[in-house]
């Protein structure tokens, strides 16, 4: 699927949609925290770290708190996402990072490469700005991440005319566990894989509907079609909650540490 940059930037006009999506994981049944996990994967001796696709800065903040000796720069293509991130922060595209060759010690690209039209170009750019021996940390979803929720959404969409046109996973398969290793290995000698799988039990339909709605601008369909799919999803969830106390799915993340 081709990434639609305009739709992507609309989704990230401000931090609201991302905060809604991240908020769904307050219902995880274990205490896994991806921010802590990522911080633990980065070596301690990094001077300059870029957090590319930083969003509202949840990883940037964590690293700055823990590593006062390092400079952590938040970089994002969407200026509205950086509005609440303290300096240093800059608006830039992952495919053209305004740093010299080898000028950076560590680079994060967390939950963002599936939005980049030319992933191979972005990975080449990460290699270019990283010094020899520098560390790239990437996170993305497993190909079967949150399957139960996507199965429900697919069922909702299947009730619509021309259902085949709409893929609820949107741009996510553009960079997931199925194709990420090959793309990273093309530029990095060592690619270590850290997979995490965690159960999520949501006790009411509203946070699930809010999650689906937060992806509205990524879906290439008319408002009428979208609203019909949301109504169908609400109906399916109401049926589900009539006989269950929670809606359960599995969150499957993968981190790659590359050198
Ligand atoms: C799912 S959010 C992840 C944000 C952050 N890394 C986190 O996990 O909280 C994806 C972010 O990537 C940014 N983004 C999308 N395309 C980009 C590009 N080509 N270059 C830089 N940032 C981009 C979006 O604006 C958004 O803030």
Q: Is 93 in the pocket of ligand 1 (CB under 6 A)?
A: yes
The closest of 114, 107, 45 to 75, measured between CA atoms, is 107
pLDDT digit string (tens) for 39-66? Answer: 999 999 999 999 999 999 999 999 999 9
| pLDDT tens readout for residues 222-232 | 888 889 999 99
CA of 204 relative to ligand 1 center, distance in Å: 28
The Cα 236–Cα 230 span in angstroms is 10
Q: Quick one: tokens of 227?
A: 């609203």
Q: Any bridge partners for residue 130, and if so which?
A: 104
Helix, strand and coil in the chain, % to nearest 5: 45, 25, 35
Q: Which domain covers residue 97, as residue numbers?
A: 5-145+170-199+251-258
**Span from the CA of 242 to the centroid of ligand 1 (angstroms):** 37
145 CB within 6 A, ligand 1? no
Whether 175 is covered by a domain: the verdict is: yes
161 found inside a domain: no
Domain count, the chain: 1
Is the shortest distance between the CB of 82 and ligand 1 below 6 Å? no
Do 48 and 106 contact (CB within 8 A), yes or no? yes
Q: Classify residue 240: in a domain, yes or no.
A: no
DSSP string, 127-186: HHHEEEEEEEEEEEE-TTTTHHHHHHHHHHHHTSTTGGG--TTTTGGGSSTTTHHHHHHT
pLDDT tens figures, 14-40: 999 999 999 999 999 999 999 999 999
Beta carbon of 11 within 6 Å of any ligand 1 atom? no
Ligand 1 atom closest to the CA of 12, numbered from 1: 25
pLDDT over 90 at 82, yes or no: yes
* pLDDT computed for residue 64 by the predictor: 98
Can you give the pLDDT at residue 29? 97
pLDDT at 78 over 70: yes
114 belongs to a structural domain: yes
- With respect to residue 134, please indicate whether it lies within any of the assigned structural domains: yes
- Stretch 148-156: mean pLDDT: 94
Residue 1 pLDDT class (50, 70, 90 cuts)? low
257 has pLDDT over 70: yes
Identify whether 12 is part of a domain.
yes
Question: Measured from the CB, is residue 34 less than 6 Å from ligand 1?
Answer: no
Residue 19's CATH number:
3.40.50.150
């Amino acid at each position: 699927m081709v990434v639609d940059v305009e739709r992507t930037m609309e989704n990230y006009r401000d931090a609201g949609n991302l905060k809604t999506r991240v908020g769904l994981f307050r219902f995880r049944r274990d205490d896994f925290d991806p921010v802590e996990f990522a911080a633990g994967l980065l070596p301690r001796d990094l001077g300059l770290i870029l957090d590319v696709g930083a969003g509202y800065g949840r990883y940037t903040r964590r690293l700055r708190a823990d590593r006062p000796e390092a400079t952590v720069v938040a970089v994002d293509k969407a200026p509205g996402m950086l509005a609440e991130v303290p300096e240093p922060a800059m608006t830039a595209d992952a495919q053209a990072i305004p740093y010299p060759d080898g000028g950076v010690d560590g680079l994060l690209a967390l939950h963002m490469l599936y939005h980049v039209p030319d992933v191979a170009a972005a990975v080449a750019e990460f290699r270019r700005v990283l010094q020899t021996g520098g560390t790239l940390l990437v996170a993305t979803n497993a190909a079967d991440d949150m399957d139960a929720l996507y199965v429900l959404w697919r069922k909702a969409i299947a009730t619509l005319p021309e259902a085949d046109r709409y893929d609820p996973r949107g741009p996510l398969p553009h960079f997931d566990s199925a194709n990420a290793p090959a793309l990273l290995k093309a530029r990095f000698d060592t690619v270590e894989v850290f997979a995490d799988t965690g159960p999520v039990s949501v006790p009411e339909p509203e946070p699930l509907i809010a999650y689906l709605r937060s992806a509205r601008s990524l879906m290439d369909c008319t408002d009428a079609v979208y609203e019909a799919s949301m109504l169908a999803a609400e109906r399916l969830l109401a049926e589900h909650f009539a006989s269950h106390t929670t809606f359960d799915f599995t969150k499957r993340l993968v981190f790659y540490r590359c050198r």
